[in-house]
């Protein structure tokens, strides 16, 4: 049996060789950008009026003119108009191009209408370029806006739309199959007998993958040697990453490790010094197919996903996973020599630290606990007593802000 550090090292040194693909920006959220996005023109692309009001030549103001005749109107989305008389003005709307021969915008709030087309400026001072967003002040044409390797956010989608990228190049996620095993499992739209339960793991994994911009397909295999073998053989034909749940422990019907080896998947490890998730099996086939065979207990599956599968996917896409830390806020004992993933609720202290409070009831089958907790606090295996105030890495699975 190997420890968590070694298991992590083995997993993250067998990455998926990612290609890239072109996707529509509506599909790009959460994916990893595989091109640099440059400004296609200056931002803003013209001297842009920032307030509804009038545009004047400030020299006229300096020379003592206070009442201005409105020559015409410059709405947003219209071609640039020209001020003919220096002592006149043009009525302008927010988002419009600043009219030629003008260099200051006065808001309606600072104007008094003397007649329908005669306005008086009711201000002590007019500053050149006031209320004007000057061309190119945010970004110049060809400036780098978004760098390759970035995880695409909603704000990034807005930027890509602005520069006219209807499609973008992103890292292609591996083709992932999620496979549950177990004769006690029924579909979620069925009513289980008292001795059955509904499948939940593949749905949890599917949702967690979606959060990372990855799609997956669900499969189920019966606890029978031949079914597991035939089923997996078929799945291997089509998918490059196979995430199994269940069937990797020491039960009489836990056929997964045996079948994987029959299918020439090289076992890189089986069993890790951790709780939950001890029976975790990981392997790789010559054709670069990767297999995560996770223990079936819902909490084990969940924890192994966040500890191993998520960083594997991130690193495969060229993204460095972030390690986050939290402060344990209660003493906690765990004597076995195993890394313990303590389910914790996160909060913040008055001094701004992230605080982790253990959630009661810690069985690895205890799905309900996942609802109360936000994260797993990683308690190192060579310690038995974990003291209030000590800092440990934390695997966060819920948006806590």
The residues binding Mg ion (CB under 5 A) are 182, 246-247, 296
- Nearest distance, CB of residue 176 and ligand AMP, angstroms: 15
The structure tokens listed for 158 are 């807005």
Angle at alpha carbon of residue 284, lines to 283 and 290, rounded to 5°: 95
Residues near 348 by beta carbon (within 8 Å), at least 6 away in sequence:
354, 355
- Nearest distance, CB of residue 296 and ligand AMP, angstroms: 3
Rounded to 5 degrees, φ, ψ at 313 are -65, -40
Binding-site size, ligand AMP (CB under 6 A)? 19
Cis peptide before 276 (omega within 30 of 0): yes
Options 321, 365, 372, 391; binder of ligand AMP; rule CB under 6 A = 365
Q: How far is CA 306 from the centre of its chain?
A: 14
Residue 231 interacts with ligand AMP (CB under 6 A): yes or no: no
Report in angstroms the alpha-carbon separations of 190 from 182, 197, 220, 222: 15, 10, 15, 17
Comparing every residue's Cβ against ligand AMP, the nearest one is 296
- Nearest distance, CB of residue 166 and ligand AMP, angstroms: 39
Options 231, 246, 257, 277; binder of ligand AMP; rule CB under 6 A = 246
Options 126, 197, 273, 396; binder of ligand AMP; rule CB under 6 A = 197
- Nearest distance, CB of residue 186 and ligand AMP, angstroms: 10
Give the per-residue contact string, 283-312, with ligand AMP (x = CB under 6 A; - = no): ------------xxxx--------------
Angle at alpha carbon of residue 129, lines to 125 and 130, rounded to 5°: 50
Cis peptide before 44 (omega within 30 of 0): yes
**Closer Cβ to ligand AMP, 165 or 220, answer by number:** 220
Angle at alpha carbon of residue 72, lines to 69 and 77, rounded to 5°: 140
Q: Among Mg ion, ligand AMP, none, what binds residue 314 when CB lies within 5 to 8 Å by partner kind?
A: none
Quote the CA–CA distance of 58 and 351 in Å, as a whole number: 51
Residue 251 interacts with ligand AMP (CB under 6 A): yes or no: yes
Interface with ligand AMP in residues 175-194 (CB under 6 A): 180, 182, 184-185
Q: Where are the alpha helices (H) located in 165-320, listed in sequence order?
A: 201-211, 225-238, 256-262, 298-304, 310-316
- Nearest distance, CB of residue 219 and ligand AMP, angstroms: 11
How many Cβ atoms are within 10 Å of 380's Cβ, its own excluded?
Answer: 15
The structure tokens listed for 186 are 């029924």
**Closer Cβ to Mg ion, 174 or 296, answer by number:** 296
- Nearest distance, CB of residue 15 and ligand AMP, angstroms: 26
Q: Which residues of the chain form contacts with ligand AMP (CB under 6 A)? A: 180, 182, 184-185, 197, 199-202, 245-247, 249, 251, 295-298, 365
């Amino acid at each position: 049996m190997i420890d968590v550090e070694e298991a992590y090292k083995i997993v993250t040194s067998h990455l998926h060789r990612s290609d890239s693909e072109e996707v529509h920006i509506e599909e790009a959220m959460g994916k990893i950008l595989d091109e640099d996005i440059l400004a296609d023109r200056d931002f803003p692309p013209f001297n842009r009026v920032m307030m509804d009001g009038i545009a004047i030549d400030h020299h006229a103001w300096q020379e003592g003119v206070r009442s201005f005749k409105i020559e015409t109107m410059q709405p947003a989305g219209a071609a640039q108009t020209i001020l003919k008389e220096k002592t006149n003005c043009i009525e302008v709307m927010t988002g419009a191009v600043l009219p030629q021969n003008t260099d200051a915008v006065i808001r309606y709030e600072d104007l008094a209408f003397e007649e329908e087309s005669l306005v008086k400026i009711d201000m002590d001072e007019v500053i050149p370029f006031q209320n004007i967003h000057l061309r190119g002040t945010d970004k110049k044409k060809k400036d780098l806006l978004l760098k390759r390797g970035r995880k695409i956010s909603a704000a990034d989608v807005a930027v890509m739309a602005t520069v006219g990228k209807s499609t973008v190049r992103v890292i292609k996620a591996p083709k992932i199959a999620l496979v549950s095993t177990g004769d006690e499992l029924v579909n979620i739209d069925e009513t289980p007998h008292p001795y059955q339960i509904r499948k939940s793991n593949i749905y949890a994994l599917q949702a967690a993958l979606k959060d990372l911009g990855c799609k997956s397909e669900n499969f189920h295999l019966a606890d029978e040697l031949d079914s597991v073998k035939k089923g997996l053989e078929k799945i291997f034909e089509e998918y490059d990453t196979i995430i199994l749940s269940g069937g990797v422990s020491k039960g009489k019907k836990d056929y997964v490790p045996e079948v994987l080896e029959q299918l020439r998947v090289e076992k890189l490890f089986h069993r890790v010094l951790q709780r939950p998730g001890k029976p975790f099996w990981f392997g790789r086939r010559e054709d670069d197919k990767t297999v995560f065979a996770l223990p079936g207990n819902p909490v084990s599956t969940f924890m192994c996903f966040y500890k191993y599968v998520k960083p594997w996917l991130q690193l495969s896409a060229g993204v460095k996973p972030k390690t986050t830390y939290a402060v344990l806020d209660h003493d906690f004992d765990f004597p076995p020599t195993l890394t313990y993933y303590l389910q914790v609720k996160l909060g913040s202290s008055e001094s701004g630290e992230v605080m982790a409070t253990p959630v009661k009831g810690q069985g690895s089958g205890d799905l309900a606990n996942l609802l109360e907790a936000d994260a797993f606090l990683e308690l190192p295996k060579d310690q038995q007593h974990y003291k209030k105030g000590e800092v440990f890495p934390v695997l966060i699975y819920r948006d806590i802000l």
